[in-house]
Amino acid sequence: MAKTNTSELLEALASEIGDNIYIDIAKWHLYLSNAKLHTVVAEQLYPLITSNSVNEDRVIKVLESIPVKIGGGRRELALIDLLPLQCQVNLVDILERFQREL
């Protein structure tokens, strides 16, 4: 990977997350890039990569802390509640790969 600075790494991480991770609403897949959530997720998860502390429990805690407005903002759900289990697993895999290649 050989990213030279933080902004390049964040951009690459956000792109990877946005293209591969989606929320599932009534069996519709809305990728995080289309939902404009990929950058927020990357920024929130980046410290786990730089501190070599990527693990499923920590990733879940971060996802629980990211609110997603639904119904025109009438309600908020934690991002973790909208991600299928396979996307959670894929997200951890992406983060572990970035951590190894850092």
Task: Please tell me the pTM assigned to this model.
Answer: 0.91
Burial class, 54, CB count within 10 angstroms (exposed 0-12 / middle 13-18 / buried 19+): buried
- Residue 53: which domain range? 6-101
- The pLDDT of residue 85: 97
Contact in structure between 22 and 16 (CB atoms under 8 Å): no
Q: Which residues face 76 on adjacent strands?
A: 69
pLDDT value at position 5? 83
Which pLDDT score is estimated for 4?
59
Domain assignment present for 64: yes
User: Is 1 contained in some domain?
Assistant: no
Confidence at residue 53, expressed as pLDDT on a 0 to 100 scale: 93
pLDDT, residue 19, reads 98
Low-confidence ranges of the chain (pLDDT < 50): 1-3
The reply to whether 73 falls in a domain is yes
Q: What pLDDT is recorded for position 1? A: 45
Number of domains, the chain = 1
Residue 61 lies in a domain: yes
